[in-house]
Amino acid sequence: MSEALLRATGLRLAFGGVRAADGIDLDVMKGEFLAIIGPNGAGKTTFINMTTGYLKPNAGEIAYEGRRITGLSPRAIVKLGIARSFQLPQLFLEHTVEQNVALAVAARMGIWSPLAPLLRPSHRDEARDILARFGLTAIADSRADALNEGARKLADIAMAVALKPRLLLMDEPTSGVAASEKMTIVETLVNVLRDAKVTAVFVEHDMDVVERFADRVAVWSQGRIAALGPPAEVLADPAVQREVIGIERHPTKEAPHA
């Protein structure tokens, strides 16, 4: 029987009158890929922000490997082995892709060496290895502000992976990525994460991606978890279909009321 790597209990957070988290209880199991789906504004990103220390819940607590992490700073939480990527990629725009990833490597190894170069052989090799696994070798020397959306997204995740986390939270890893590239990118991602034995939580809008890669799906609705279980089961639930999938699965082909 697998154990919970991350355990959230009774998380509540309100912004003004909006309840972004209204009693979230969730266990993330070691080694699983957990997808979070749900309409915009349901509080999916808020959950990631609370887990990574960017937001503090009004009530409830988050435990990681049995240790309470609510109230810790983002920096302290990263050090414990939780990394995240962003819905809007957060790259160092004036650096190259290789430097971006090397900075993450350096961040993990300790950055307080003022005289040895960032791109010393050890850091550079590791950065290049990660870029190769993400298929980004060709753009390693491009400046981050010159990339297309898909590459930016991958570079953003590559930086998080370079931190060697045991838990990786990804906020819409495939949004903004061209439909034709989507499956390839996710395939790459899953391989990288499985190799590295990383537990992953990802917010996703594309149900094909969810069906294919998630071990479990959590459906978010108005700050609560409306359903939780294996994709085949959850996605077949008529209530879930009505609330989430019906509008989101093929938004261009089907009218919302269909």
Interacting residues with another protein (CB under 8 A): 49, 52, 54, 73-75, 78-79, 83-84, 86-88, 90-95, 99, 103-104, 106-108, 111-119, 123, 159, 163
Residue 194: left if φ>0, alpha if ψ -120 to 50, beta else—which one? alpha
CA 25/CA 119 separation, integer angstroms: 43
Task: Say how far apart CA 123 and CA 98 lie, in whole Å.
Answer: 10
- Shortest Cβ distance from residue 223 to another protein (Å)? 18
Closest Cα partner for 8 from 151, 218, 245, 256? 218
Nearest approach, Cβ of residue 169 and another protein (Å): 10
Minimum distance of another protein from residue 249's CB (angstroms): 27
Nearer to another protein, 49 or 199 (CB): 49
What is the spatial distance between Cα 155 and Cα 104, in angstroms, rounded to a whole number? 11
Beta carbon nearer to another protein, 80 or 247: 80
Nearer to another protein (CB atom), residue 104 or residue 214: 104
Total residue count of the chain as it appears in this document = 258
Least distance in angstroms from the C-beta of 108 to another protein: 7
Nearer to another protein, 93 or 132 (CB): 93
**Closer to another protein at the Cβ: 139 or 244?**
139
- Choose between 160 and 225: whose C-beta lies nearer to another protein: 160
Q: Least Å distance between CB 96 and another protein?
A: 10
Q: Which is nearer to another protein, 117 or 230 (CB)?
A: 117
What three-state secondary structure class fits 53?
coil
The CA-to-CA distance between both ends of the chain, in Å, stands at 42
Token pair for 16: 């003004």
Beta carbons within 10 angstroms of residue 183's beta carbon: 16
Q: How far is the CB of 54 from another protein (least distance, A)?
A: 6
Residue 171 DSSP SS3: strand
Residue 207 CB, nearest distance to another protein (Å)? 25
Closest CA to 162 of 140, 182, 133: 133
In the numeric block, the tokens 């997204």 are attached to: 153
